[in-house]
A and B are shown apart, each in its own frame.
Chain A
Amino acid sequence: MTADLATYNFAYLDEQTKRMIRRAILKAIAIPGYQVPFASREMPMPYGWGTGGVQVTASIIGPEDVLKVIDQGADDTTNAVSIRAFFQKVADVAVTTHTKDATIIQTRHRIPEQKLTEGQILVYQVPIPEPLRFLEPRETETRKMHALEEYGLMHVKLYEDIAINGRISKTYAYPVKVDGRYVMDPSPTPKFDNPKMHMSDALQLFGAGREKRIYAVPPHTQVVSLDFEDYPFEIQKFEQDCALCGAHGVYLDEVVLDDKGGRMFVCSDTDHCEDRREHGHVGAMLATDREAAE
């Protein structure tokens, strides 16, 4: 570390701010799914880049922590790289790309494929924390609806989906009910990841910087995706396996390869994919490449 960085407090935020955010986090953990307002600070990155998640991480991180940052499941995309570099610089913490080695995982859009364990903390970057926002524009009204547990409107949205598309077409930010009480927006994660939130061993924290809200799902808490009795909740299913590691039953990204209709499906969780390849798993595309090389 160079001397000029000594002007920064550990993990960028000053101690009073961290204290304030920790109080909000504690309250959020005490009331699972409830959105706690907090005095969000300006961060050295634009809104939409994870200012909420960064503030949560900055408030809970200690010198002994090992940080992993993912963006759409990948460790090597711009958002992940810049946030990881940020904490290396201002907190001088160890970083990793391996899910199992991390104590804090900050994420945008995905929950790692590998099951999280006790003691790990998953920090979500949340753009719009209010699940009812696009149904009811008034903040005063949505707060009242949460307070009085009036969630019929959420089902009106799902009803509309079925009436128009024949099924519930919402694929991400799929609303969940936490601990039988609050309806929560799990941030724009694909609904594929919703079941992973249910009874998770890890603590899940959600930070929305622009909207100034923090909410949480404590470990071993019920997280139930909303649905109808005759149209139950379903996760996405993929016909293909990962082209690189052959993984099945994981969330896949579609990558367009050329302008002749060539495409591949590959694990969205890069760490999971690399780990599998290290252990000798080979997907269809990698196998053909090897044959060609030999």
Chain B
Amino acid sequence: MTDTPLLKVSGVSKFYGSRIGCKDVNFELWPGEVLAIVGESGSGKTTLLNCLSTRLMPTAGSVEYRMRDGNFRDLYHMSEAERRFLMRTDWGFVHQNPADGLRMTVSAGANVGERLMAVGDRHYGRIRETATDWLGRVEISADRIDDQPRAFSGGMRQRLQIARNLVTGPRLVFMDEPTGGLDVSVQARLLDLVRGLVNDLGLAAIVVTHDLAVARLLSHRMMVMKDGHVIEHGLTDRVLDDPREPYTQLLVSSILQV
């Protein structure tokens, strides 16, 4: 980790008419750090994530990102071409529903290779080699490379989506409920995999989840949101073991103990 943050978020607000999406969010994210955003449905988690990842224009505030050249750039003052280039090279976005993040009608290999081709790789053999390598890293066997994601199980699709995002070596990955809709054992494997990859690659990640167990396993820090506001913010273990806000206490105590 370095002294300079990767992402600086200040005063980000999003209003849907008079309704609040999220209000006055401030935080910084450092390289290699995983931040979890937790809260119940409708608390503004996904709105905030979309505002940070340039998928949704915030009403107010600024999001600054440290580019590879070391300079901070305000995402909303960049040209659209630069923003889209950033999104498919230096960033990743893992959707809750893999069908949103994958091309369901082209093979797994092409799904992984798309970003490489988008940045100008024109050598079939090399693209395929990289794709095979990445499928291996997300525990998809190499003989499935020419199968379409339609033929994959939910867990495999999610892992394929992760491979597709990580192939260009991004520095920041956004994840929206990455384990939503998966059964518990598959969830556990996926979390294990993501944790390993984040460690190995030194990725920074922002993970939106309603599942506190996911936050506990993956994240270093977490933010608790309620009604569009960040009500508590701190190290994951501190927030979960010693919640200060009444709402967070409620949230933590409502986890079923098996």
Enumerate B103-119 residues with CB–CB distance to A below 8 Å: 103, 106-107, 109-110, 113-115, 117-119
| Mask: chain A, 218-230; 1 = CB below 8 Å from B; 0 = not | 0000000001111
Roughly how many angstroms separate A152 CA and B117 CA in the complex, as a whole number? 5
Question: Is residue A164 within 8 Å, beta carbon to beta carbon, of the partner chain?
Answer: yes
- Closest chain-B Cβ to A238's Cβ sits at a distance in Å of 26
Roughly how many angstroms separate A230 CA and B122 CA in the complex, as a whole number? 8
- Closest chain-A Cβ to B130's Cβ sits at a distance in Å of 12
Question: Is residue A150 within 8 Å, beta carbon to beta carbon, of the partner chain?
Answer: yes
Interface of A is mostly: helix
Contact A164 B117, beta carbon cutoff 8 Å: no
Chain B residues with CB below 8 A from A150, complex form: 84, 118
Among B117, B118, B119, B145, chain A packs the most CB atoms within 10 A around the CB of B117
Contact A159 B113, CB 8 Å, known A148-B81, A148-B84: yes
Give the nearest-CB partner of A155 in chain B: B117
- Closest chain-B Cβ to A194's Cβ sits at a distance in Å of 17
Roughly how many angstroms separate A238 CA and B107 CA in the complex, as a whole number? 32
Give the nearest-CB partner of A153 in chain B: B114
Contact A156 B124, beta carbon cutoff 8 Å: no
Interface of B is mostly: helix
Interface residues on A, range: 10 to 19
Question: Is residue B123 within 8 Å, beta carbon to beta carbon, of the partner chain?
Answer: yes
Question: Is residue A39 within 8 Å, beta carbon to beta carbon, of the partner chain?
Answer: no
Interface residues on B, range: 20 to 34
Roughly how many angstroms separate A150 CA and B114 CA in the complex, as a whole number? 11
Question: Is residue B245 within 8 Å, beta carbon to beta carbon, of the partner chain?
Answer: no
Contact B84 A156, beta carbon cutoff 8 Å: no
Chain B residues with CB below 8 A from A157, complex form: 106
- Closest chain-A Cβ to B114's Cβ sits at a distance in Å of 5
CB < 8 Å neighbour of A228 from B80, B107, B123: B123
CB < 8 Å neighbour of A230 from B107, B113, B119, B123: B123
Roughly how many angstroms separate A164 CA and B106 CA in the complex, as a whole number? 10
Question: Is residue A163 within 8 Å, beta carbon to beta carbon, of the partner chain?
Answer: yes
Contact A152 B119, CB 8 Å, known A160-B107, A163-B107, A163-B146: yes
Contact A148 B117, CB 8 Å, known A162-B124, A163-B107, A164-B146: no
Give the nearest-CB partner of A157 in chain B: B106
Contact B124 A228, beta carbon cutoff 8 Å: yes
Question: Is residue B70 within 8 Å, beta carbon to beta carbon, of the partner chain?
Answer: no
**Known contacts A148-B84, A156-B110; 17 further A-B pairs (Cβ under 8 A):** A148-B80, A152-B114, A152-B117, A152-B119, A153-B117, A153-B118, A156-B106, A156-B114, A156-B117, A159-B106, A159-B110, A160-B106, A162-B124, A163-B146, A228-B124, A229-B124, A231-B124
9 pairs, A vs B, C-beta closer than 8 Å? A155-B122, A156-B103, A156-B110, A160-B107, A162-B124, A163-B109, A163-B128, A163-B145, A227-B122
